[in-house]
Structure 1
Amino acid sequence: MKIKVTAQLGDYEKAFTMVDNCTNQMTLNSCVDLYLAEAYIYECMREYNQMYHKLREVLTIDPKNEEALEHIWLCVEWSRLYQESIEFHNSLIDQDAYNYLAWFNLGHAYSCEGDYKNAIRSLEYSYIVNPEFKTGYLDCAEVCIQTKDYKKALGIYQELIQRFGHNQEYLVPAAECMLNLRKYAVAKDYLIEALKIDQYIDDVYYLLGICYASEGNYTNAISSLIKAIRLDDRREEYYAELAYCYEKTKQYGKADFYHTKSTEAGPEEEQYWLAHVKFLMRRNKLEKALDVLEEADEYTVGPRLSYCKAACLYRLGKKKETMECLDELLPEDFDSHKIFFKMAPKSKTDREIQSMIRYYTMES
Structure 2
Amino acid sequence: MLFSSNEDENFALSRFESMLKTNNVFFFDSAEFEDIIHHYLDSGKVALAKKAIKISLEQHPSSVNLKLMEIELMVFENKLDEAEKLLDNLYLLETSNAEIYIQKANIYSKRDEHYKAIELLKTALEYSDDLADVNSLIGMEYLFIDDFKEAKRYFMKCLELDIDDYSSLYNIIYCFEFLEDIDGAISYLNEYIDKNPYSEVAWHQLGKQYYAKKMFPEALTAFDFAIIADDRFIGAYIEKGKVLEKLGDYEEAIYNYQITLELDDPTSFAYLRIGKCYEKLGQKELAVKFYYKTVHEDPLLDKGWTAITDFYMRQENYQKALYYINKAINIDTENVSYWKRSAEIHKSLQLYEEADIAYQKTVELGNYELSTWISWADILKLLGEYNNSIHVLLQALEFYPDNSKIEYRLAGMYFTLGEQNKGTFHLKNALRNNFTQHLQFQKLFPSVFTRISVKNIISEFKKSST
TM-score range, shorter chain: 0.7 to 0.9
Q: Over aligned residue pairs, what C-alpha RMSD do you find?
A: 4.1
Q: State the match for 1:273 in structure 2.
A: 373
How far off is 1:222 after superposition? 1.9
For each residue in 1:112-170, what CA deviation from the matched residue of structure 2 results, as whole angstroms up to 9, or x when unmatched?
7xxx322x44443342112244444556777899xxx4946896465223333442022
1:157–1:171: 8 Å Cα contact kept in structure 2?
no
For each residue in 1:243-271, what CA deviation from the matched residue of structure 2 results, as whole angstroms up to 9, or x when unmatched?
22223333322222212111212253332
**TM-score, normalization: structure 1?**
0.74
Q: State the match for 2:294 in structure 1.
A: 194
Q: State the match for 1:353 in structure 2.
A: 458
Q: State the match for 1:308 in structure 2.
A: 409
Q: State the match for 2:361 in structure 1.
A: 261
CA gap of 1:330–1:315, structure 2 versus 1, over 3 A, is same
Q: State the match for 1:18 in structure 2.
A: 124
Classify the secondary structure of the residue corresponding to 1:130. helix
Map 1:1-364 → 2, pairs under 5 A: 7-9=105-107, 10=109, 11-22=117-128, 32-59=132-159, 65-93=165-193, 99-106=199-206, 116-118=213-215, 120-131=216-227, 132-136=232-236, 138=238, 149=246, 151=248, 156=253, 159-165=256-262, 166-175=266-275, 185-283=285-383, 285-297=385-397, 303=403, 304-313=405-414, 321-332=422-433, 340-344=441-445, 347=449, 350=455, 352-353=457-458, 356=461
Consecutive unaligned residues of structure 2, counting only runs of 5 or more, are 2-98, 110-116
d(CA) in 1 for partners of 2:235, 2:105: 29
d(CA) in 2 for partners of 1:301, 1:136: 46
d(CA) in 2 for partners of 1:97, 1:302: 58
d(CA) in 1 for partners of 2:310, 2:199: 42
How far off is 1:324 after superposition? 3.0
2:219–2:243: 8 Å Cα contact kept in structure 1?
no
d(CA) in 2 for partners of 1:267, 1:199: 23
1:35–1:55: 8 Å Cα contact kept in structure 2?
yes
d(CA) in 2 for partners of 1:154, 1:338: 46
Q: Percent same amino acid among aligned pairs? A: 19
Q: Judge which range, 93-102 or 11-20, deviates more.
A: 93-102
CA gap of 1:234–1:17, structure 2 versus 1, over 3 A, is same
Consecutive unaligned residues of structure 1, counting only runs of 5 or more, are none
How far off is 1:21 after superposition? 0.9
CA gap of 1:327–1:210, structure 2 versus 1, over 3 A, is same
How far off is 1:326 after superposition? 4.2
Which 4+ stretches in 1 moved above 6 angstroms?
140-145, 177-183, 334-338
d(CA) in 1 for partners of 2:302, 2:379: 26
**TM-score, normalization: structure 2?**
0.60
d(CA) in 1 for partners of 2:259, 2:143: 38
Q: Judge which range, 248-257 or 84-93, deviates more.
A: 84-93
Q: State the match for 2:87 in structure 1.
A: none
